[in-house]
Amino acid sequence: MKFLDLAKVHIRSGSGGAGAVSFRREKFVEFGGPDGGDGGRGGDVWAEAVDGLNTLIDFRYQQHFFAKNGRAGMGKARTGADGAGVTLRVPVGTEILEEDQETVIADLTEVGQRVLLARGGNGGWGNLHFKTSTNQAPRRANPGQEGVERTLWLRLKLIADVGLLGLPNAGKSTFLAATSNARPKIADYPFTTLHPNLGVVGVDGHEFVVADIPGLIEGAHEGRGIGDRFLGHVERCAVLLHLVDGTSDTIAEDWRTVIRELELYGGHLNDKPRITALNKVDALDAEARAAAATELREACGGEVFEISGVSREGLTEVLRALRAEIAAARAAERDATQEEEPWRP
């Protein structure tokens, strides 16, 4: 299945049915009077987050979603049938935006969440509603209300606990493959990862989800490369794991390049907890490894984990550190939620 995280859709709710102009005509009923029924309501357009989807690929092949119109009213005070609605089934983590791609209408982060995108038009009144003491045979009925037509964008942001960051070929896919059952593409050339990959990682009896995105390069915030397009997938993460290639000749500059792109991208990514790891240490001798770790430690100003996805060295330690950061972030979120909720006796 192909991965698609951005899709444009056109929606239209149903128009209401017209009211009827009708009069009761029965044998032995001298003054039947008006009996025109109301029109039915037009169908609504909804979006619902469902389980089992992790891409917007379905919206590549169908972009138009039109609800049915309500049926017109009929004689004998019969109301027209309501139009059938339409529901867009989207993956959990989907944002719905206006046509400008900036105004967020809804953010569906839980299974079963629903949002009304376009309300169907009301049905028109039949002439039965317009009968008065001075106008006992009205020949007037209302037309149905028009439906709403909109163009929207769907943007998927994966729900993950940890986001992997780094330059192309920093070993992110190898790390994901070594710590989970995910099988991302791995090769000895840059940009082998063309779309985000998710893996479930376990440590000390706890599990969390790790997202691997394409590598960042300098100028990514301006559209260079493909990594900037997928940075939105790590906006929801509790912690970022920044992998730096230990075999590079410019370790400190590699670290600064990614940090600079996070700052320029925005979205509070640079404010998230971040763990730094020197990767591919199995390819270094003791002297080169110590020099690389020292250079990276001086650049980031904090602790540096020395790991290898190939030899699996240091993986357990870094996973435990990630687990601790996730637990702290989730606890802070719960405390913030409790403070926002009003006290009830």
Say which amino acid occupies 213: I
pLDDT band of residue 199 (cuts 50, 70, 90) is confident
Q: What is the CATH number of domain 162-340?
A: 3.40.50.300
- Which parts are annotated binding residues for GTP? 166-173, 191-195, 212-215, 279-282, 308-310
- 3-state SS, one letter per residue, for 94-138: EEEECCCCCCEEEEECCCCCEEEEECCCCCCCCHHHHCCCCCCCC
User: Does residue 24 have a pLDDT over 60?
Assistant: yes
User: Does residue 187 have a pLDDT over 70?
Assistant: no
Contacts 24+ apart (CB under 8 A), 22-25: 22/74, 22/75, 22/76, 22/126, 22/127, 23/75, 23/137, 24/75, 24/76
pLDDT digits (tens, 9 = 90+) for 206-245: 888 888 876 555 544 444 444 455 666 677 788 889 999 8
SS3 21: coil
Closest CA to 53 of 200, 193, 172, 156: 156
Write phi, then psi, for 257 (nearest 5 degrees).
-60, -45
pLDDT digits (tens, 9 = 90+) for 251-287: 889 888 888 878 877 667 778 888 999 999 988 898 9
pLDDT digits (tens, 9 = 90+) for 123-161: 999 999 999 888 888 999 999 999 999 999 998 887 778
Model pTM score: 0.70
H/E stretch holding 276: strand 274-279
- Which parts are annotated binding residues for Mg(2+)? 173, 193
- Which parts are annotated binding residues? 166-173, 191-195, 212-215, 279-282, 308-310
Write phi, then psi, for 156 (nearest 5 degrees).
-95, 130
Percent of the chain at pLDDT above 90? 36
The pLDDT value recorded for residue 122 is 95
CATH 3.40.50.300 for the 1-156 domain, yes or no: no
Domain boundaries, the chain: 1-156, 162-340
